[in-house]
Amino acid sequence: MTNNYDVAFQKSINDPDGFWGEAAENCHWYKRWDKVLDDSKTPFYRWFKGGEINSCYNALDFHIDKGKGEQLALIYDSPVTDTIQTYTFNQLRDQVAKFAGLLASQGVSKGDRVLVYMPMIAESAIAILACARIGAIHSVVFGGFAAKELAVRIDDAKPKVIVSASCGIEVARVIPYKPLLDEAINMSSNKPEKCIVFQRPQEKAEMVSGRDIDWAEGIESASPHECIPLLATDPLYILYTSGTTGTPKGVVRDNGGHVVALKWSMKGVYNVDPGDVYWAASDIGWVVGHSYIIYAPLFQGCTTVLFEGKPVGTPDAGVFWRVISDHKVKTLFTAPTAFRAIKREDPRGNLVKNYDLSNFRSLFLAGERTDPDTLKWAEEMLKVPVIDHWWQTETGWSIAANCMGLYHFKVKEGSPTKPAPGWNLQVVDSSTKPCKPGEIGALVVKLPLPPGSLPTLWNNDEGYQNTYLKEFPGYYKTADAGFIDEDGYVFVMSRTDDIINVAGHRLSTGAMEEILTDHPEVAEAAVLGVDDKLKGQVPVGFLVLNAGVSRDHAEIVKEVIQMVRDRIGPVASFKTATVVQRLPKTRSGKILRGTIQKIANSQEYKTPATIDDPAILGEIKDALIDIGYAGGK
C-alpha cells in the first residue's frame, strides 16, 4: 500500500524537476527560473538556474505582504541574562532593514563577505538576515572561537566587515569576544575595513578608533535598505566545517535551492505549519542554527526560538521544559547529547512534571546517533514521537528522517528511518558495488544532490571533488558507514573511520556504544579502536554514569563488558572500559573520538579548536593511563 512518503520519494528521484519545481511555487521569486536542475557542468549541478530570489524577503517581507506582520517571528530567551524579547515580523524586518542599511553605508554590497562572530542574541539573527537582504555573503564563526582559528577563517573568507559583540555568556561566566577578535585580526593577513560591535551590558569592549563602529550608534543614523534580487545560484553563506585544520573547508550554500528545500522540509520533515512555534536548541555557529534557527522556520512563517543557555545549569535540567511551556513550542530539534545531559541530571524526569507541555507535539534529534536508551527515556518522559534524523553541515538538511508531514513510520531504534525525498541514498563497498540489505558499507548519495546541499566549497572546486566525489565516482561520500535493512530503514553506524578491524572482523563502534548506553546506570558512552599488536585494533569503552550512581565502578564495567559479549559475541574482543566524569566534545556536542584515539595510541594530537573544554583531554589521558594506554603500564 502506497503512502504520501513513497509517492513523494519516488517523484523526487524519478522527476526531480517536477518535484522541486512544485515546491518552488510556494516561495517568492522576482524572476522565475529557466531550468529547475542545470546539469550542464557536472559534477557541479545547480538548481533553479536563471531564477531571481532573495532569502531575507522569503523569511520576512513575504509574510508581511500576506498580512502576517503582527505575528511573532522571533523569541529571544536568555536564562543566562534573565531576558525574554519578542519580535513580530514587522519589528524584525524593520531592524534587519536598518542593519542592512548600516552595512551598505560601510560599502558592503552584493558578493562582499561579512563575518559574524556573535553570541546567541537576537542581534545575531538580525545581522545574518541583513546580509541576505543586500546579497552580502555571511560567514558565521562560533562566538568565542579561538583567535588563531578565527584568523584562518578571516583569511579564507576575506570579509569586508566583521560583526561582533562585546561578550558571550557561558552559564555564569562572561567570555569577552573583542580581545579574541582583535588578536585574530592582528594575526590575519586580510584586514577587514570595519568592525561593527554590539555592546552588551555584561562587558564593554574597547573600540579601535577609525575601524570599530558601535552597533547602537550606527543603527541610529542608518537608512532602511530594501531586499535586492539575487540569482538563485548566487552564494548566500559560507560555513566552515567544525574541526578543520590547515586549509579550512568553507561549505557554500546558494539562495534558490536553499529557500526551496528548507521551506519544504518544515512541513515535509517536521510537520510544522505557518504560525507554529518551532525551536532548534543549537547555536548559530553550526549548520543547525543556520538552517533551523534563522532560515527555515521564518521561510515557513513560523515563530522561531533563539535560546541563550544550556540544557543543564541555566538554572537546572528543567530549562528545556520551561521554554517549551512558556512559548508553547510545538516542535523541538536538538542534539542527543543535550538529552543525555538532562537524563543524567534528572534520570527520573521529576522536573518534567513541573511544566505544561500540552502544545508540544514532537522531538527531533540529530548531530550524533541517538542511542536507544536516550530515545526510550525521552519517549517515556515526554509522551510524544521522538524522531532521530541524520544530516551534515554539507547537506544543510536531513538526508534521512521519519518525514512526519508525509507519513509517520514505525520507529526502529538506532535508525533515522528512511531517506528524505531528493536523497538517493545507497550503501556500497570500497569498489562502489552495492551492498546487500543489512550489510555494512559506505553510505553514499547518488548525484545530483538535492537543492539546499552544498554546490561546492568556497574558492575550492578541486577540494570539493577530492573530498566528496572522487572516492565513489557518481556519488557524494557522506564519510559515514552503515546499512539499509530489508524494509528500507537506514542505520548510520559510525563515521567510516570508526569502523574498526579486530583480527580481520570489521566492527562498528556505534553498535557497541548502543549496548553500553543500554545499561541503566550509564548516561553516555564512547567506544574507539586502539592499536593492538596481536589483533590490529581492539575496542575501548568510556562510560559517563547517571547522577547519583554510587555503586562500585568496577562492577558496572564488568556488566557492560558482559553485555557486549552477549550481544555481539567474543569476536568484538571488548574487554576494557573505564568510567569518566565527562567526554571531550565539540561545542555542538560531537564526541571527539579521533582525539581520544590518538591519546590512547600515544600519538601526537592537536587540541581541536571546537573543543568545549580543553581540560577534559587531561582527564581522559589519566583515565587511559590507568587502564594501560597512552603510555601507561
Residue 146: the pLDDT is 82
pLDDT bin (cut points 50, 70, 90) of residue 171 is: confident
pLDDT bin (cut points 50, 70, 90) of residue 245 is: very low
Name the H helices within 226-371: 256-268, 287-289, 296-299, 319-327, 336-345
Q: How many CB atoms lie within 10 A of CB 298?
A: 28
Asked if the structure places residue 319 within a domain, the reply is no
- pLDDT exceeds 60 at position 496: no
- pLDDT exceeds 90 at position 322: yes
Q: What is the mean pLDDT of residues 83-92?
A: 98
Cα–Cα dist 632/121, whole Å: 45
Residue 144: the pLDDT is 82
User: Residue holding cell 535551492?
Assistant: 257
Same domain as 539, residue 508:
yes
Residue 504: the pLDDT is 59
**Contact (Cβ atoms closer than 8 angstroms) between residue 309 and residue 78:** yes
Q: How many CB atoms lie within 10 A of CB 438?
A: 11
> Of the given ranges (5-14, 82-91, 145-154, 330-339), which has the lowest mean pLDDT?
145-154
Tell me the CATH number at 461. Answer: 3.40.50.12780
Question: Half-sphere exposure of residue 144, counting CA atoms within 13 Å on the CB side?
Answer: 18
Tell me the CATH number at 556. Answer: 3.30.300.30
Residue 506: the pLDDT is 61
- Domain closes at, from 420, 451, 482: 482
User: pLDDT higher for 32 or 503?
Assistant: 32
Same domain as 520, residue 414:
no
C-alpha cell at 405: 508531514
Residue 592: the pLDDT is 86
Instruction: Name the percent of the chain lying above pLDDT 90.
Output: 76
Same domain as 145, residue 71:
yes
Name the H helices within 475-552: 509-516
Cα–Cα dist 426/273, whole Å: 31
Same domain as 465, residue 526:
no
Cα–Cα dist 595/585, whole Å: 10
Residue 247: the pLDDT is 64
Cα–Cα dist 453/217, whole Å: 38
- pLDDT exceeds 90 at position 226: yes
User: pLDDT higher for 244 or 200?
Assistant: 200
Same domain as 570, residue 475:
no
pLDDT bin (cut points 50, 70, 90) of residue 499 is: low
Q: What is the mean pLDDT of residues 16-24?
A: 98
Asked if the structure places residue 335 within a domain, the reply is no
Same domain as 474, residue 524:
no
Same domain as 557, residue 435:
no
Residue 588: the pLDDT is 66
Q: Is the peptide bond before 473 cis (omega within 30 degrees of 0)?
A: no
Q: What is the mean pLDDT of residues 239-244?
A: 68
Asked if the structure places residue 102 within a domain, the reply is yes
Q: What is the mean pLDDT of residues 73-98?
A: 98
> Of the given ranges (4-18, 60-74, 448-462, 507-521), which has the lowest mean pLDDT?
507-521
The pairing of beta strand 331-334 with beta strand 362-365: parallel
- Residues 603-621 pLDDT 10s: 888 887 777 788 889 888 8
Name the H helices within 1-60: 4-14, 16-24, 55-56
Residue 431: the pLDDT is 94
- pLDDT exceeds 80 at position 243: no
- pLDDT exceeds 70 at position 494: no
Same domain as 151, residue 13:
yes
**Contact (Cβ atoms closer than 8 angstroms) between residue 498 and residue 509:** yes
Q: What is the mean pLDDT of residues 466-479?
A: 96
Asked if the structure places residue 357 within a domain, the reply is no
- Residue 228: closest CA among 107, 130, 102: 130
Residue 244: the pLDDT is 36
Asked if the structure places residue 579 within a domain, the reply is yes
- pLDDT exceeds 50 at position 406: yes
Residue 607: the pLDDT is 82
Q: How many CB atoms lie within 10 A of CB 534?
A: 7
Average pLDDT, the chain: 93
Instruction: Name the percent of the chain lying above pLDDT 70.
Output: 97
- Residue 301: closest CA among 52, 70, 573, 472: 70
The pairing of beta strand 277-280 with beta strand 331-334: parallel
The pairing of beta strand 475-484 with beta strand 441-446: antiparallel
The model carries a pTM of: 0.85
Same domain as 510, residue 468:
no
- Domain closes at, from 416, 449, 482: 482
- Write the DSSP assignment of 422-487 as a string of letters: T--EEEE-TTSPBPPTT--EEEEEESSPPTTS-S-BTT-HHHHIIIIISSSTTEEEEEEEEEE-TT
Same domain as 527, residue 469:
no
Q: What is the mean pLDDT of residues 385-412?
A: 96
Name the H helices within 535-604: 553-567, 593-600
Asked if the structure places residue 270 within a domain, the reply is yes
- pLDDT exceeds 90 at position 263: yes
Same domain as 585, residue 448:
no
C-alpha cell at 484: 539499509
- Residues 59-70 pLDDT 10s: 999 999 999 999
Domain count of the chain? 2
Same domain as 535, residue 464:
no
Name the H helices within 66-214: 89-105, 122-134, 147-157, 178-187
Asked if the structure places residue 561 within a domain, the reply is yes
Collapse the DSSP code of 76 into the 3-class scheme (helix H, G, I; strand E, B; otherwise coil) and give the result.
Answer: strand
Asked if the structure places residue 498 within a domain, the reply is no
- Residues 340-359 pLDDT 10s: 889 989 999 999 999 999 99
Range of the domain at 534: 503-626
CA angle 53, 43, 234 (to 5 degrees): 20
Instruction: Please give the backbone phi and psi of residue 393, each rounded to the nearest 5 degrees, phi first.
Output: -50, -45
Q: Is the peptide bond before 43 cis (omega within 30 degrees of 0)?
A: yes
Residue 495: the pLDDT is 65
Look at the chain and count its residues. Answer: 633
Residue 512: the pLDDT is 87
- Residues 92-120 pLDDT 10s: 999 999 999 999 999 999 999 999 999 99
